[in-house]
Amino acid sequence: MTPSTSWYVTHVFQTYFALTRDQAEVKMREVHEQGRAVMSTGGRERMEVDVQAMHGYGLWATLQRSGE
């Protein structure tokens, strides 16, 4: 991830998920190092909204059952 991409992903996580900067940076690093991070849990409809929101920000996101 380039610095500008890292900044953008952190910004989106702060803005959309109401994370603190530190929390958003931890999640951004998870995505960078592990290829994914859990950003939303709960009912399927809510998570689908969050996936679509990430797509709206130009970020790749998928829905996955817990434990997969």
Average pLDDT over residues 38-57: 95
- Residue 32 inside a domain? The answer is yes
- Residue 20 inside a domain? The answer is yes
- Residue 65 inside a domain? The answer is no
Q: How far is CA 7 from CA 24, 25, 51, 62, 68, in A?
A: 10, 9, 20, 21, 29
User: Given a cut of 90, is residue 4 above it in pLDDT?
Assistant: no
- Residue 49 inside a domain? The answer is yes
Length, in residues, of the chain:
68
Mapping DSSP to helix (H, G, I), strand (E, B) and coil, where does residue 30 land? Answer: helix
User: If pLDDT is split at 50, 70 and 90, which confidence band does 2 have?
Assistant: low
- Residue 64 inside a domain? The answer is no
| Mean pLDDT computed over every residue of the chain | 92
- Residue 38 inside a domain? The answer is yes
Tally of domains in the chain: 1
pLDDT digits (tens, 9 = 90+) for 10-36: 999 999 999 999 999 999 999 999 999
Domain that holds residue 14: 3-56
